[in-house]
Chains A and B, each alone.
Chain A
Amino acid sequence: MFPELNNLLNTTPDRVEQGKLTLLCDAKTDGSFLVHHFLSFYLKANCKVCFVALIQSFSHYNIVGQKLGVSLTTARERGQLMFLEGLKSSVDVFFRAEEKPHPLQFLREANAGNLQPLYEFVREALQPMDKGEAAWRCPVLLVDDVSVLLSLGVGAVAVLDFIHYCRAAVCCELQGNMVVLAHDSGDAEDEENDILLNGLSHQSHLILRAEGLATGFCRDVHGQLRVLWRRPPQPTAQRDRSLIYQYKIQDKSVSFFARGLSPAVL
């Protein structure tokens, strides 16, 4: 959890908004630091987290999480974290007996299927259990990332339907939150990815967009973060609809500053 990002978004682990979909997207840079931020943020906020991790292994997120002050191993052991490790469990699709559809069942199908088994997995993971469980604050679904589903053969509309169903279940019914990372292909004209990204943008309440600098790589400024608030509860919300900040990623934190005011140039 990066305290400076919390200040920008005006949230703290004690005051978590509910029923929101946050879209993280990155263009020409790596936006995974935002995923680590939200993962540690919601674990510290005592929320029940279901993490669909398709890109990296569990130990990777655990190592980064420890730098940010959370232990994923402990969270998983006490039932706060449900972790779907895509890299490892994709192999199970082929070598496991088929008693129930595997969440990544679409990998077996010849034509682009739907993501209903994955949705059922998420729904089951975040369903509040009646007996003998510590009361978690609100359920949170984290997906890293959805663009890789396109590369695995799922259509953009199928991914949008999956996010739609998750939103209906997690945000509306269970009053939880969702955080989804998608990549922006930018100049490489990927129509499916554009449909996916625009469709997600229209469904989101908050969009955080990490962009590389237009002038290229810089040692002191790693990129630029655009924050766009959509669908405010009231049409004339007082807070700013859009902010732009530049950032620098350090070992255990990320510092944010207004454009052109990097400490290196002041």
Chain B
Amino acid sequence: MLESVLASGGLVLLRDSVEWEGRSLLKALIKKSVLCGEQVHILGCEVSEEEFRDGFDVSINSQLVYHDLFRDPLNWSKTGEALPEGALGALRAMYRRTDPGPVIIALDSLSWLLLHLPCTTLCQTLHTLSQQDTCSGDSSPVKRVCVLGLLHEELHGPGPMGALSSLAQTEVTLSGTASQTSAHILYRRPRQRPTHKIQWFSILPDFSVDLQGGPPLESQPHPDPDTPLVDPTTHLTFNLRLSKKEKEAKDSLTLPFQFSSEKQQALLCPGSGQATSHIFYEPDAYDDPDQEDPDDDLDI
């Protein structure tokens, strides 16, 4: 997973949140790059250098070039120890270096830079930084540059996030379940449709990555075999089943609107001794005794 994230170069965004922090993955990617022999420059803004280097062994620490912007980023102490020209100067100095070979520039964090620099300036600088390998016209070896930026999702609005997304070749978004972390990786290759995959992983204490197959399966809750099954049909106050006699009586019942031949005969031939029925009507004072149909004069 780590190789594929760094393979295409360009800008790689590592998006984390308060609940799923991304600095451990950033350090794991840095360790992997150092072990592959690549140069790594780190611009540290959010944690101290000691805390960042904590967990790496001496061989890896000696290979890291650390630019410390944590102790005095805004030059408040005025002792001259701060990086001159601040954050923007430090970034621009990185693409003026002339060493050959592939290089990884890790920004811890891109969120800090985005809060302190105008978005357009930062995007232009990142673009220049990550596109370095295409601009060399002479015969110098192609320098593959990969800029790895840690971005805290909740701190920025959709505008800056969208701008950085459009610049990025790869985006890794961290989330997970209660016990495991997942990385949703989105690859944007030129002239190809974006692809994405989800990788479950955990980071070991020495910052190597342990890849896992999938989310841990939740164990199905088994029904407890000890509880006796109670028959709910006992002691009911109503019948659930019919006896044979009741069934016969029910089947032989004729329904009121079912027209059988016997019923037809009974209706057509009035039975003996049955008087024809009369309707007795007492008109009210308001009733109109006129039997004429008011619609007769309509010429239909």
Binding site for B on A (CB under 8 A): 114, 116, 119, 157, 160-161, 164-165, 168, 172, 191, 194-195, 198-199, 201-203, 207, 228, 230-231, 233-236
- Smallest CB separation, A129 vs chain B (Å): 20
Q: Which of B183-191, B200-208, B235-243, B262-270 contacts A (4 or more CB under 8 A)?
A: B200-208
| Residues on A with beta carbons closer than 8 Å to the beta carbon of B55 | 234
Query: Does B50 lie at the interface of the complex (its beta carbon under 8 Å from any beta carbon of A)?
Result: yes
Q: Is the CB of A198 within 8 A of B76?
A: no
Q: Is the CB of B155 within 8 A of A198?
A: yes
Looking across the interface, which residue of chain B has its beta carbon closest to that of A201? Answer: B18
Q: A157-B115, A194-B154 are in contact. Are A231 and B76 (CB under 8 A)?
A: no
Bound CA–CA A14/B76 (angstroms):
35
| Residues on A with beta carbons closer than 8 Å to the beta carbon of B21 | 202, 230-231
Q: Is the CB of A235 within 8 A of B205?
A: yes
- Smallest CB separation, B70 vs chain A (Å): 6
Query: Does B121 lie at the interface of the complex (its beta carbon under 8 Å from any beta carbon of A)?
Result: no
| Residues on B with beta carbons closer than 8 Å to the beta carbon of A203 | 46
Query: Does B196 lie at the interface of the complex (its beta carbon under 8 Å from any beta carbon of A)?
Result: no
**Which B residues, 45 to 85, have Cβ-Cβ distances below 8 Å to chain A?**
46, 48, 50-51, 54-55, 70-74, 76
Bound CA–CA A207/B21 (angstroms):
14
Looking across the interface, which residue of chain A has its beta carbon closest to that of B18? Answer: A201
| Residues on B with beta carbons closer than 8 Å to the beta carbon of A194 | 154
- Smallest CB separation, A134 vs chain B (Å): 28
| Residues on B with beta carbons closer than 8 Å to the beta carbon of A201 | 18, 154
Query: Does B24 lie at the interface of the complex (its beta carbon under 8 Å from any beta carbon of A)?
Result: yes
Query: Does B152 lie at the interface of the complex (its beta carbon under 8 Å from any beta carbon of A)?
Result: yes
Chain A interface, >50% SS class = helix
| Residues on B with beta carbons closer than 8 Å to the beta carbon of A230 | 18, 21
Query: Does B288 lie at the interface of the complex (its beta carbon under 8 Å from any beta carbon of A)?
Result: no
Q: Is the CB of A116 within 8 A of B76?
A: yes
Looking across the interface, which residue of chain A has its beta carbon closest to that of B48? Answer: A172
Bound CA–CA A203/B109 (angstroms):
11
Query: Does B19 lie at the interface of the complex (its beta carbon under 8 Å from any beta carbon of A)?
Result: yes
| Residues on B with beta carbons closer than 8 Å to the beta carbon of A114 | 74
Q: Which 3 A-B pairs have the closest CB atoms?
A: A198-B154, A201-B18, A235-B203
Query: Does B92 lie at the interface of the complex (its beta carbon under 8 Å from any beta carbon of A)?
Result: no
Contact of A160 among B18, B115, B207 (CB under 8 A): B115
- Smallest CB separation, B31 vs chain A (Å): 12
Q: Is the CB of A172 within 8 A of B74?
A: no
- Smallest CB separation, B75 vs chain A (Å): 10
- Smallest CB separation, A242 vs chain B (Å): 8
Q: Is the CB of A235 within 8 A of B24?
A: yes
Q: A116-B76, A201-B18 are in contact. Are A236 and B71 (CB under 8 A)?
A: no
Q: List 10 A-B contacts (CB under 8 A).
A: A114-B74, A119-B76, A160-B115, A164-B70, A165-B74, A198-B18, A199-B152, A202-B111, A233-B54, A236-B203
Q: Is the CB of A228 within 8 A of B19?
A: yes
7 further A-B contacts with Cβ under 8 Å, apart from A199-B152, A231-B23, are: A157-B115, A168-B48, A168-B71, A198-B155, A202-B18, A235-B204, A236-B202
| Residues on B with beta carbons closer than 8 Å to the beta carbon of A228 | 18-19
- Smallest CB separation, A72 vs chain B (Å): 30
Q: Is the CB of B155 within 8 A of A195?
A: yes
Per-position contact with A for B238-279: 1 when CB-CB < 8 Å, else 0? Answer: 000000000000000000000000000000000000000000
| Residues on B with beta carbons closer than 8 Å to the beta carbon of A234 | 55, 205
Q: A228-B19, A234-B205, A236-B205 are in contact. Are A202 and B76 (CB under 8 A)?
A: no
Q: Is the CB of A172 within 8 A of B19?
A: no
Q: Is the CB of A165 within 8 A of B48?
A: no
Bound CA–CA A172/B70 (angstroms):
10
Bound CA–CA A234/B155 (angstroms):
25
Looking across the interface, which residue of chain A has its beta carbon closest to that of B54? Answer: A233
- Smallest CB separation, A148 vs chain B (Å): 21
Q: Is the CB of B155 within 8 A of A236?
A: no
Per-position contact with A for B136-164: 1 when CB-CB < 8 Å, else 0? Answer: 00000000000000001011010000000
| Residues on A with beta carbons closer than 8 Å to the beta carbon of B115 | 157, 160, 195, 199
Looking across the interface, which residue of chain B has its beta carbon closest to that of A164? Answer: B73
Bound CA–CA A172/B207 (angstroms):
22
Contact of A165 among B76, B152, B157, B202 (CB under 8 A): B76
Q: Is the CB of B70 within 8 A of A168?
A: yes
- Smallest CB separation, A27 vs chain B (Å): 14
